[in-house]
Amino acid sequence: MRLLVDSHVLLWWLEGGPGLSPAAFEAMADGANELFLSAASVWELSIKQSVGKLRVDVDLRAHAGEQGFTELPVTGAHASVVRDLPFHHKDPFDRMLVAQARVEGLTLVTADPALRAYDVAILPATG
């Protein structure tokens, strides 16, 4: 399975998995599965760090790389898909993750139930 994690899931994973459902934790821990981190998530978390809403004592990109994540850049193809998404969700970062999951054939690991309204594979991160 090829898994794209949202920002909260990345933070939970890097903390050792608290808050993750057993299914999400097991899928992410399974070395046969590929883990992806979107540049959009790095951007979102960087904004939160810069305005003081998030404190992280490690370099998120480097730490994610050490944990086996492959960084997924945002491309024009991804951005074009965002244009055609129904407005089930207004957060631009989450909409980009949905678009990337569609274009790249990834399963989105998220705790956000609103993203289930999209036609994309979802692995619930909680519950």
Domains of the chain: 2-124 (3.40.50.1010)
In 3D space, the residue among 25, 54, 31 whose CA is nearest the CA of residue 42 turns out to be 54
In this predicted structure, what is the pLDDT of residue 37? Answer: 98
pLDDT digits 0-9 by tens, 91-107? 999 999 999 999 999 99
DSSP string, 107-120: EEEES-GGGGGSSS
- Residue ranges for the chain with pLDDT beneath 70: none
Closest by alpha carbon to 112, among 98, 103, 74, 18? 98
Using DSSP's 3-state secondary structure scheme, residue 45 falls into helix
Predicted model pTM: 0.94
Name the residue among 67, 50, 55, 62 with its Cα closest to residue 14: 67
Pairing of strands 34-38, 69-72: parallel
